Every structure is written in C-alpha cells, then in structure tokens.
C-alpha cells in the first residue's frame, strides 16, 4: 500500500510539473459584458500578419483559456466582438490576467510577466502625454481664433517641450527594457522617425539577449541601420540619376559644386514650401561661390505639372530631378529619407558633411564654409 501511494503521488507530481512547464493560463474579468460575448485572440509572430489563434466566450463576467508555452517571441492582442480597440499583451510563458472594461475598452490591460507590466506603465505615460497634447490643441485653436499670439507662441513652446519629453521617455524605456520585444518594436518606430540615431540603435542591439536578437524585427532594424549609415555624416553620398522636368537624365555627379545640397521635397509638402524661400535666399547668396543644389521631388506620377509649377512659383532656379514615385522613390530610399523636407550637404568630394539644415542654421553653415561676402 505504501508503495502504491508513493507511485500515485509521484505520478500526480509529474503530471503537475508537466502542466506547469508546457502551458500557461490567460484569465480575465470582463466588467459589464453580456454572457456569450466573444473575444478574439490574435497573434503576430515575426513580421507576419495578425492571425486569430483562439475565440474565448465571456461567462458571468469572466473568461479563461490555456495555451502551450513557446520559445517563439510574439505580440498578441485581444479584440472584443463589435468593439474596435485592441488590448495588447506579450506572452511570456507565465500565467496572465486580463481586465476588460466595456465602458472604457482603451483602459483595459493584461498583467503578468515583466513585459506586460512595463508595457502597461509605458501605455499610461503615453496616454497622459496624449491627453496633454489634445488639451494643448484645443487651447491653441481657441487662441488662434481670438488672435491671442502670446498664448499661441506659449503653447507652441510647450508642445515642443512635450515632444522632447516624449522622445526622452521612449529612449529611457528602451534602455531600461532592452530584452523585451516591445522595446525592439519601439526602437524600430523611433529609428524610422529618426528620433534615434543609428549609433543609439546599435547600442541597444548590442545588448540584447540571444532570444530577442534572433527575432525577425531585429533583422529589419539591422538592415535599416546599415541603410542609414550609407547616407550618414562622414559617408560618401551615394550617386544617383533621375529624370529632369525636361525629361533628360541627370546624375548627382554632374550637379556637384564646391558644396552641394541634396534637397528632398515635394510640391504637396507644406513645410517644404515654407522652407523654400530660405533655401532660395541661401542659393542666391552662395551659388557664385560654389554652392549647387539638386532637388529630388517626391511628387506622384500624375503630379508632374504641379511639380514643375511649384519650381517656378518658388523660384527654385537650380537642378531638379524626380522619378514621380512618391514615397517609393528609389533615391529617397537610398538616402533613408522618411520625412521631408530633408537635406544633405556634401563637400566637393561628395562626402556628407551635414544633414537637415533648415532656416537660420542653413545660412550660418554656408557662411562658415564660404564666408559672408
């Protein structure tokens, strides 16, 4: 009998251990939801499209499901039927708890595991910043409508400071959570917006765990960094050629001066058009001293007439090319341009010596290189 009890106890323990090692549970409370409401569980692995992996039904304000543990990193999210918001979470082979609010689905969350807890902290911070931005927008519009220029200027300064605060918080979050999939996703977004440099991104990648480093998104970031370095300060500017407004082909090497600005813009880009008078002023002052400009337009295929008209309207009397391929322009991709206006300043050998100089900074740079007279 003692041997039989020992055998049964051992079997139970082994079964329990096997369960603990092979599966994890997602339990949830769903406040104010009707019985029978369906929750769809989506999973995104690597760079694949979201895929429904389960449907859970709410019963008496609760739901529960069990899933196999996996060494593959993924980001999952819950979507309640007929509701738009997604509740993002990161499976970490640990039991998790979801809290869903019908009247405030955007405040719903999943806890359990370091990634989910840090993601919730991040989401709260971003929600606070976005609420402040919305309040600023409302106050800005009211001040604009009433002609209160002092308040308009104050709000603009506050908004700039808020944006800088957001960027710094995201960088801090990434550096403090280097081995989370979400940090890598955030890093990709920051690098795309040029809110982080290739060097800063490299520092993060160098400290990832082997598991995170092997994820497909890291491979994408590595490719982005390699591409960014091709057009970084200190690198030789990649050569290119494209059609001019007259239909001829012009190469960068044929447009070079003592100093050359490659200017990415488009006729539809309002910030570009606002910057153009400043570029014209700099060009007229320094062209005879050796400054050349070649503008690369990101206009669309059916916008050639608008491109040509904008050149004339803005008095852009220098070299122009465009493939008329919008954001698919091969030159923009070659130079890792993801926002316009964007500029690259080259020396006479074609080396990139500065980037994204606008307003007074552009004039000051050219004065330091070519003098004030």
Measured between its terminal Cα atoms, the distance across the chain in Å is 105
Domain ranges in the chain with CATH number 2.60.40? 22-112
What residues pair up with 56 in beta bridges, in sequence order?
Answer: 39
Angle between helices 216-230 and 181-192 (to 10 degrees): 30
Cβ atoms of 27 and 64 closer than 8 Å: yes
Question: Distances in Å between the alpha carbon of 125 and those of 110, 234, 292, 330?
Answer: 16, 37, 46, 37
For residue 141, give the 3-state DSSP assignment. Answer: helix
Residues counted in the chain? 373
Domain spanning 241-370: CATH 3.40.30.10? yes
Q: Distance (Å, rounded) from C-alpha 174 to C-alpha 182? A: 9
Instruction: Scan for tokens 């803005």, then name that residue.
Output: 314
For residue 68, give the 3-state DSSP assignment. Answer: strand
pLDDT in tens, 191-242: 888 788 888 898 899 988 888 888 888 988 998 888 777 888 888 999 999 9
Q: Which of 75, 70, 68 is nearest to 90 (CA)?
A: 75
For residue 104, what is the enclosing H or E element? none
pLDDT in tens, 60-93: 999 999 999 988 888 999 999 989 889 999 998 9
The class (CATH top level) of 22-112 is mainly beta
For 279, the token pair is 């570029």
Cβ atoms of 217 and 74 closer than 8 Å: no
Domain ranges in the chain with CATH number 3.40.30.10? 241-370
Statement: residue 13 has pLDDT above 50? no
pLDDT in tens, 322-352: 999 999 999 998 998 888 999 999 999 999 9
Band of pLDDT at residue 15, cut at 50, 70 and 90: very low
């Amino acid at each position: 009998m003692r041997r039989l009890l020992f055998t049964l106890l051992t079997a139970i323990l082994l079964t329990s251990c096997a369960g603990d090692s092979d599966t994890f549970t997602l339990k949830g409370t769903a406040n104010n939801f009707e019985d029978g409401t369906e929750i769809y569980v989506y999973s995104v692995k690597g760079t694949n499209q979201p895929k429904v992996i389960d449907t859970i039904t709410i019963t008496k304000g609760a739901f529960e499901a069990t899933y196999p543990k996996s060494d593959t990193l993924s980001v999952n999210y819950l979507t309640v039927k007929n509701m738009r918001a997604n509740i993002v979470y990161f499976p970490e082979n640990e039991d998790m708890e979801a809290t869903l609010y019908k009247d405030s689905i955007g405040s719903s969350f999943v806890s359990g595991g370091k990634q989910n807890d840090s993601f919730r902290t991040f989401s709260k911070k971003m929600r606070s910043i976005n609420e402040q931005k919305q309040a600023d927008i409302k106050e800005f519009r009211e001040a604009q409508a009433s002609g209160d220029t002092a308040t308009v200027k104050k709000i603009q300064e506050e908004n700039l400071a808020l944006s800088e605060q957001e960027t710094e918080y995201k960088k801090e979050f990434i550096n403090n959570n280097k081995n989370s999939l979400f940090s890598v996703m955030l890093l990709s977004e920051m690098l795309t917006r040029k809110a982080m440099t290739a060097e800063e991104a490299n520092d993060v990648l160098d400290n990832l765990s082997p598991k995170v480093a092997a994820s497909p998104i890291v491979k994408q970031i590595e490719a982005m960094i390699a591409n960014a370095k091709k057009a970084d300060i200190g690198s030789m500017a990649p050569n290119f050629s494209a059609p001019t407004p007259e239909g001829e082909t012009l190469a960068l090497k044929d447009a070079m001066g003592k100093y050359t600005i490659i200017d990415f813009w488009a006729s539809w880009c309002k910030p570009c058009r606002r910057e153009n008078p400043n570029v014209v002023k700099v060009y007229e002052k320094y062209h005879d001293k050796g400054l050349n400009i070649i503008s690369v337009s990101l206009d669309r295929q059916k916008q050639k007439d608008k491109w040509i008209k904008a050149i004339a309207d803005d008095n852009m009397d220098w070299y122009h090319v465009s493939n008329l391929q919008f954001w698919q322009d091969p030159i923009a991709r070659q130079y890792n341009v993801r926002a316009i206006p964007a500029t690259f300043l080259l020396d006479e050998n074609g080396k990139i010596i500065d980037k994204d100089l606008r307003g007074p900074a552009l004039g000051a740079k050219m004065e330091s290189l070519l003098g004030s007279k």
